[in-house]
């Protein structure tokens, strides 16, 4: 029984990267940037902070349009490569936004810090 618990508790690199990517993306696209930051490296979290601060100076109409876009956006993780580069994972996902026929192909670059994968870049 103890062996099963230990085996069940183990997580592959791919699963760990997927879980972290999902945590980041679900919060990021809900515009919950504070929560999304928890899944980022310190450098990438600082970029998010800067973008959020800059967005605060935009006109209300544009901020409202951005919020509406986020609320009507979904994503699907389509590929994970957590083996090609040591301590790094590449996550490909498709972003489906309202009013856009074809999903947008996007990518996260994640780095492993300790036992966790963290978002280090997004394009």
| Cα Rg of the chain (Å, integer) | 16
Structure tokens at 10: 């183990």
4-16 residue pLDDT tens:
444 444 448 999 9
Q: List the chain pLDDT tens, one digit each, 123 residues.
A: 444 444 444 448 999 999 999 999 999 988 899 999 999 999 999 999 998 887 777 788 777 777 777 777 899 999 999 999 999 999 999 999 878 889 999 999 999 999 899 999 999
Q: What is the pTM of this model?
A: 0.81
Residue 94 half-sphere exposure, CB side, CA atoms within 13 Å? 8
What pLDDT score does 10 carry?
Answer: 40
Helix or strand run (H / E) with residue 66: helix 60-71
Domains by residue range for the chain, with CATH? 12-122 (3.10.450.50)
């Amino acid at each position: 029984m103890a062996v099963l618990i230990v085996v069940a508790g183990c997580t592959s690199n791919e699963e760990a990267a997927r879980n972290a990517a999902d945590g980041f993306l679900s919060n990021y696209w809900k515009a919950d940037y504070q929560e999304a930051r928890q899944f980022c490296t310190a450098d990438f979290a600082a970029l998010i902070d800067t973008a959020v601060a800059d967005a605060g100076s935009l006109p209300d109409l544009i901020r409202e349009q951005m919020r509406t876009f986020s609320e009507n956006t979904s994503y699907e993780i389509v590929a994970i490569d957590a083996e090609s580069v040591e301590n790094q994972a590449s996550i490909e996902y498709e972003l489906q936004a309202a009013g856009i026929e074809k999903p947008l192909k996007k990518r996260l670059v994640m780095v492993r810090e300790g036992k966790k994968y963290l978002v280090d870049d997004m394009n």
